[in-house]
Amino acid sequence: SRRHSTLLLVGVACLYERLQDGNRQIYAFQYSGDFCDLHRHVLPDNEVAVAGITDCSIGMIEHKDLEQLIAQYPSLGLALWRASMLEASIFRKRLLNVGRQPALQRVAHLLCEQLARREAVGLNSATIPLTQMDLADAAGLSIVHINRTFQELRRLNILSKERRAMKVVDRERLAGLASFDGNYLNMP
Amino acid sequence: SRRHSTLLLVGVACLYERLQDGNRQIYAFQYSGDFCDLHRHVLPDNEVAVAGITDCSIGMIEHKDLEQLIAQYPSLGLALWRASMLEASIFRKRLLNVGRQPALQRVAHLLCEQLARREAVGLNSATIPLTQMDLADAAGLSIVHINRTFQELRRLNILSKERRAMKVVDRERLAGLASFDGNYLNMP
DNA sequence: CGGAACGTTGAGTGAAGTCAACCGAGGTGG
DNA sequence: CCACCTCGGTTGACTTCACTCAACGTTCCG
C-alpha cells in the first residue's frame, strides 16, 4: 500500500482494470491536474491501475503531507471532495452510455467528453491521441467493432484520419449524435 | 436548484437517469445512511433522479447547515469525501461489469454487491426486494433477457423464487460465478 | 530493411434485443 | 364476495448488433 498520491502534471493517462481473461475496461482518461490514484486513500488494495496514453509528467505527494495541507486549508479538502463527486458524475454518465446506448452514440459521447475535458485544461486540438484499442476498452466494445464505428463516423464527415490519429471534424454533429450535454462535467 | 440534501433513513431507493427514448439506467441502489442527492451540491442541475424501491423514510438537511457542520467538525468533511470516493469505486466496478461481462456474471455480481451492502446496514435477509425490471435497468439488459438469466440462476440452484421476490440460496456459488471480491466496497 | 504495433477486411457466429402474446398474483371497487 | 384490472413475470419466434477468428495492409521506428 502506497504512502503517496500521484498527480498528473502533463500528458494523458488512463485508469483501468483488467479481468482474468485479459479483457480491459478503461474507467477514465486523465488530464493535467487530475489525481491518478486518490482512491487508494480509501481503498489501498484495489486492482485499479494507471497507464500513460502519451508521455506524461507526474508529481507525488505524501499522504500525510496531503492530510496536513487539508487540515491547514479546509477549502482544499472541500475542493478534493468536489473533485471526487465530479469523478462520480462522469462515471455515472459513462454507465448510462455503456449500459443503454448503441455503439455509434456511445463512441460519439465518449469523444465529446474527451473534447470537453481537453478544452478545460487548455488542449484545444481536435486531434485525440487515443488508439482504437483505447477507445474499445473505454467503450466496452471490440476493436473490430470500434473500427467499423469509426468508418461510419468518417463516412458521416464527423471524423477524419490524420496519419494514424483521429481528428474530430464536425463537433456539432458529433454532439448532436451523442445528445451530449456537458452539464454533468460542470461545464457550459 | 434545491437548498437541502436528502438522507435515506429506512428503505431501499435507486438513483437513475432516463434517456429520451424512455430507457432507464439505474446507477445505484441506496440503503439506510446513504445520501440520495449529494451530487447536487456540485451539479445542481443534472438529470439524475431518485425513486423508492420499497417504502422509505428520509431526512433532510439544509446545505448551509451541512457546510456549517463540516466547518465545525472537519472529520465529517473527510468522512463525506471518503463516502464519495467509495461511491466512485462502486461505479467503476459497475462499469467493468456492464462493459465487459456477459449477462449471467453481470447479474450475479450486481446481486453480490447488493447482498454485501445490505449486510453492511444490517439487512441480513437473502431476499432482495428488486423487480426484474429494476435489475434489468441496473444491469443494462432487457427485461426478457433478465428473466432468462434468472431462470438459469434458478436452474443452477443459486436463486429461488419466494412469491414474487427472488431469494439468494447459494451465496458462495453466486460469488464464485461473479468472481466477486468485496474489497472495492471497503469490506472483507 | 525488418519487425512491431496499429488499423482494416470478410465471413461466420452468437449473445442479447424486440415483438407480441399469455400467465398469475394482488388489490380494489361494485 | 367476486369480477376485473394492473403489474410483474414468462414464453416463443425472429432479428440484429456486436463478437470472434483469421487474414492482410499500413505506419512507424530502430
For residue A148, which nucleotide's C1' is closest to its Cα? C8
pLDDT along chain A (188 residues), means of 10: 88 97 97 95 90 96 93 92 97 98 98 97 94 98 98 97 91 98 90
At B1, the pLDDT band (50, 70, 90 cuts) reads low
Read off the pLDDT band of B132 (50, 70, 90).
very high
C1' (D27) to CA (B79) span, angstroms: 51
Residue A30 cell numbers, joined: 486523465
Give the C-alpha separation, A142 to A136, whole Å: 6
A140 closest CB neighbour out of B80, B89, B98:
B98
pLDDT value at residue A44: 86
Q: Name the band, by pLDDT with cuts 50, 70 and 90, for residue B41.
A: confident
Residues of B in contact with A84 (CB under 8 A): 81, 84-85, 88
Q: How many CA atoms lie within 13 A of B110 on its CB side?
A: 29
The pTM of the whole model exceeds 0.85 = yes
pLDDT(B160) > 80: yes
Question: Which distant-in-sequence residues (6+ apart) come within 8 Å of B52 by Cβ?
Answer: B11, B12, B13
pLDDT score recorded for residue A163: 83
Distance set, CA B76 to CA A144, B66, B179 (Å):
48, 9, 34
Radius of gyration from C-alpha coordinates of chain B: 17
Looking at beta carbons, which residues of chain B come within 8 Å of A45? 183
Integer distance in angstroms from CA B144 to C1' C20?
13
Q: How far is the CA of A160 from the C1' of C7 (A)?
A: 14
Task: Determine the average pLDDT of the residues in B29-49.
Answer: 93
Angle, helices A103-120 vs A74-100, to 10°: value is 160
Task: Round the average pLDDT of chain B to a whole number and report it.
Answer: 95
d(CA B73, CA B40): 22
